[in-house]
Each structure stands twice: as C-alpha cells, then as structure tokens.
Amino acid sequence: MTATTSAASHNALTVYVSDPPAVRSNPSLQAAVTGEQLAFNALKPSNKVTLKLETGAKISDNARTAIADNSAIAYLGEFQSGQSRLTAGITNAQDLLELSATDTTKPGKNDYEAQSQYGDTFASVPAQLGVSASALQKANPALKHQRAQAAYGYAAMEVLLKVLLAAHGQANNRATIVHGVQATLKDNKGHAAVSSFKIKLK
C-alpha cells in the first residue's frame, strides 16, 4: 500500500459522516446521524480527531470527499437500505473503513474497486452486532429521550472511537481501524452494552 492509502495524516484524524438530503428528511435515519454526533461529542479521545458531515445530495460525492482527505480515518454511511453498495467501492479503493449504522445490505465483490488488494472494508452495526436498536437504547441511559435508531448511530461511533483509542500509535493506520472495528463487532455479537465491549484490533 502507498502512504496515502494505508495511513491517515499523523497530526489529525477525520471521521466523515454521510448526511444527504434523503437522510435528513427521514426522521428515523436522521436519528442515527444524531446518535453518531452525540457519541462523538461525548467520547472523542482527542482534540486531534474531528467530525465532518457531508451533506451533498449525491452520496458518491460525499464518499469521494472523504477519500480525498488524507486525514480521513473512517466514513460513516450509508443509512438507507442498500445504498452502501454505491459508495463502498469508492472508500475501499483507498482502504478507508465504511461503517453503516443502519444499512444491513453487505456490498458484494462486484461493488468494490480494490477488494483484491485491501479486502473487505465495510462494516454494519445491525448486521454484524445482531442487536436491535431498542436493546442498544435500553443499555445506554444517554439515549433515553432519543429515537430508537439513534442507538445504532451511537453504537457505530462508540465502537469506532474505542478502536481508535485502543490502536494508540496505529490509530492513523486505516487497515488497523478496519480490522479493529470488524473484529470488535464480531467478538461482541449479541451484546448491547457497547460501553463494556472488549476491543479487538485483529
């Protein structure tokens, strides 16, 4: 891998969230975005980690904005069912984690541009964790007054931030973060208390 595709900038890390008009006009999906923002504001491990919302109507453009940023460490999207397959190939081409809080449709090999080089770089909270939004909400007092879907967003961001923290000096390594998030979701399958998750980096 080249430096620009295997690692984000050492001095800053950026988490991108795709928030197109189709999501903003859907209260349940927008609740997931709100959950991600709540988790980031409550749990971000360092001021060197920033959050950027991409609000363009074309989700492919949102993904391309993320991969054009060398500080990008993750792209949180997409939220509409089946839409992640339209952007997973873009993020995969730069070995960038694409983490969906609500889309359970896993992109196929034909949706990737560089899977033979980087492998699978997509993760889905509901598909891989196998826990309902209501169960996640009950396990998190901070979400008591939010829509249930906010719990999926909060869980997605919380897992990502925990992996970044556990990675220490490798937090800017995109492959490390991809594998860490995927392994953590797999290892904690069926559990709703994200705050007590065991973090795995491989």
Instruction: Please write the tens of the pLDDT for every residue from 40-64.
Output: 999 998 889 999 999 999 999 999 9
pLDDT for 3: 35
Give dist(CA 78, CA 111) in Å, integer: 14
Give dist(CA 105, CA 201) in Å, integer: 24
Low pLDDT (below 70) residues in the chain: 1-6, 9-10, 113-116
Q: Strand pairing of 72-76 and 49-54?
A: unpaired
pLDDT for 110: 78
pLDDT for 153: 98
Instruction: Please write the tens of the pLDDT for every residue from 10-51.
Output: 579 999 999 999 999 999 999 999 999 999 999 998 889 999
> For the residues of the chain, what is the DSSP string, one character each?
--HHHHB--TT-EEEEEE--HHHHT-HHHHHHHHHHHHHHHHH-S-TTEEEEEE--S-HHHHHHHHHT-TTEEEEE---STTGGGGTHHHHHTTT-EEEESS---PPPGGG-SSHHHH---EEEHHHHH---HHHHHHT-GGGTTS-TTHHHHHHHHHHHHHHHHHHGGGTTBHHHHHHHHHHHHHHTTT---GGGPPP---
Structural domains of the chain, with CATH? 3-196 (3.40.50.2300)
